[in-house]
């Protein structure tokens, strides 16, 4: 068999995907598995978005789309940025991609040369570092400790910036911790970056509407407008509207960067399928009641899960957004399961919990911080209660 490229040899499936694959395998073997490993909302897509997709198909809108997005979706995205964050973009400062993940890859493809660095506060979504590494980039991790609410310290971020730094990447509300940076902190980060004009700023705002902090979420794009010419804002319809499978993400940023990202996308996938774009435009421009309603449900689920995990003997910080809990498993390290597994790490805990209690989670080490696990609350409340009961019983069984 011919050999693989070096980038393929240094890259593998994400931890969350690997756990999900193992959970599916156990289900196929007849095991009763509750998967809390993937952030995939259990709600349906909004009816008006589905209706818009059907109407587009019925009208025969199935030709190649514009590379940067349908004009009606780009206009809807521009209105969304103005409405939600008070940030105004021209048409050539907005693009549409196949999910937020492709937006990120487009940005890295357009800006990273081998050896260039990306500063990533951790815990962080596993894909950020992996995408940088695929392109020969170097992730520079900045720990955000639990005793600081999983928020970065400005001095730590600045210490990580060097002459090869190309990006500072922020994600609030955060995956996996649910941390939400207050506007004061974001403004301080913006002032710090003024001292480093060679650094791009990327803010992944995918969970912006799933925020439980007083006053909601305010993007650094609004808190540090002086950095507008080097700030890229990433968002999409996946989490806000429960439309993960439609694969529509979008970005706002400087026209030159957006154009370069479109060039990169043109050599990968070209434009996003028209039917999904029609649905996305309807979701952004249609009734927004469902957004607040579902955020309220996620908040209720958060409260249920955090209380249950703390009662089970773990230590769980209360997240202010997104749909994850990130409890520490430190209180149970060193113990042994009924089947004889020793819990030495968070990865040991997550695997034993899956194999012996039928609950799939992701170890915190995959997100850059141990000893924690990530639990997704993007599943029905009854399943969450049952999963919490299994976690409690599992922890009680450790010796």
DSSP readout, 312-356?
TT-B----SBTTEE--B-GGGTT-B-TTS-B--SHHHHHHHIIII
H or E element that contains 359? strand 359-360
User: What is the pLDDT at residue 26?
Assistant: 86
Q: Residue 261 and residue 253: Cα distance in Å, rounded? A: 10
Q: Both tokens of residue 251?
A: 């970005």
Q: If you average pLDDT over residues 240-268, what whole number do you get?
A: 98
**Burial code of 21-43, b = ≥16 C-beta within 10 A, e = fewer?**
ebbeebeeeeeebbbbbbbbbbe
Tokens 């780009």 belong to which residue?
74
Q: What is residue 226's DSSP assignment?
A: G
The answer to whether residue 329 scores a pLDDT higher than 90 is yes
Burial of residue 389 (CB within 10 Å: 0-12, 13-18, 19+) is: middle
Going from the C-alpha of 389 to that of each of 21, 24, 214, 318, the distances in angstroms are 23, 21, 30, 19
Q: By the 8 A CB rule, do 201 and 120 touch?
A: no
The answer to whether residue 18 scores a pLDDT higher than 90 is no
Tell me, yes or no, if the pTM score tops 0.75.
yes
SS3 94: strand
Tokens 């439609």 belong to which residue?
246
Q: By the 8 A CB rule, do 100 and 236 touch?
A: yes
Number of residues that this document lists for the chain: 399
Q: By the 8 A CB rule, do 398 and 335 touch?
A: yes
Binned at pLDDT 50, 70 and 90, residue 22 comes out as confident
Binned at pLDDT 50, 70 and 90, residue 20 comes out as confident
Binned at pLDDT 50, 70 and 90, residue 289 comes out as very high
% of the chain exceeding 70 in pLDDT: 98
Q: Residue 369 and residue 216: Cα distance in Å, rounded? A: 26
Domains and CATH numbers, the chain: 6-44+290-397 (3.90.1150.10), 47-285 (3.40.640.10)
Among positive and negative, which fits the CA dihedral 146, 150, 152, 156? positive
Q: Residue 192 and residue 186: Cα distance in Å, rounded? A: 10
Q: Both tokens of residue 224?
A: 């540090």
171 pairs with which residues across the strands? 204
Contacts of 156 (CB under 8 A, 6+ apart): 142, 143
The answer to whether residue 265 scores a pLDDT higher than 90 is yes
Q: By the 8 A CB rule, do 190 and 156 touch?
A: no
**pLDDT of 194-247, one tens digit each?**
999 999 999 999 999 999 988 899 999 999 999 999 999 999 999 999 999 999
Could you give the residue ranges of the DSSP H alpha helices within 86-208? 100-111, 126-134, 154-160, 183-193
């Amino acid at each position: 068999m011919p050999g693989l490229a070096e980038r393929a040899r240094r890259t593998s499936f994400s931890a969350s995907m690997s756990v999900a694959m193992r959970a599916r395998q156990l289900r196929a073997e007849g095991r009763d598995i509750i998967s809390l490993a993937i952030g995939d909302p259990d709600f349906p897509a909004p009816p008006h978005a589905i209706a818009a997709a059907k109407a587009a198909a019925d009208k025969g809108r199935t030709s190649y789309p514009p590379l940067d997005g349908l004009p009606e979706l780009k206009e809807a995205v521009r209105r969304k940025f103005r409405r939600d964050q008070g940030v105004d973009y021209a048409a050539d400062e907005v693009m549409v991609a196949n999910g937020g993940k492709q937006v990120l890859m487009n940005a890295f493809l357009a800006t990273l040369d081998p050896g260039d660095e990306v500063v990533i506060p951790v815990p962080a979504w596993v894909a950020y570092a992996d995408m940088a590494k695929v392109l020969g980039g170097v992730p520079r991790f900045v720990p955000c400790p639990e005793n600081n609410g999983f928020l970065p310290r400005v001095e730590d971020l600045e210490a990580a910036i060097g002459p090869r730094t190309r990006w500072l990447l922020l994600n609030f509300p955060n995956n996996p911790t649910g941390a939400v940076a207050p506007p004061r902190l974001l403004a301080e980060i913006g002032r710090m970056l003024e001292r480093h004009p060679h650094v791009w700023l990327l803010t992944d705002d995918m969970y912006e509407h799933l925020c439980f902090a007083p006053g909601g979420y305010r993007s650094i794009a609004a808190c540090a407008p002086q950095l507008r010419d080097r700030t890229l804002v990433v968002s999409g319809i996946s989490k806000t509207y429960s439309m993960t499978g439609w694969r529509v993400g979008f970005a706002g940023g400087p026209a030159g960067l957006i154009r370069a990202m479109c060039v990169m996308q043109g050599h990968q996938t070209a434009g996003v399928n028209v039917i999904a774009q029609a649905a996305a435009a309807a979701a952004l421009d249609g009734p927004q009641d469902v957004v607040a309603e579902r955020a309220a449900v996620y908040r209720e689920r958060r409260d249920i899960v955090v209380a249950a995990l703390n009662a089970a003997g773990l230590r769980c910080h209360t997240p202010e957004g997104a749909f994850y809990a990130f409890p520490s498993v430190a209180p149970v390290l060193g113990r042994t399961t009924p089947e004889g597994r020793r819990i030495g790490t968070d990865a040991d805990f997550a695997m034993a919990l899956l194999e012996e209690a039928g609950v799939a989670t992701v170890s915190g080490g995959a997100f850059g911080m141990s000893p924690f696990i990530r639990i997704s609350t993007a599943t029905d409340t009854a399943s969450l209660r049952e999963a919490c009961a299994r976690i409690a019983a599992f922890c009680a069984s450790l010796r």
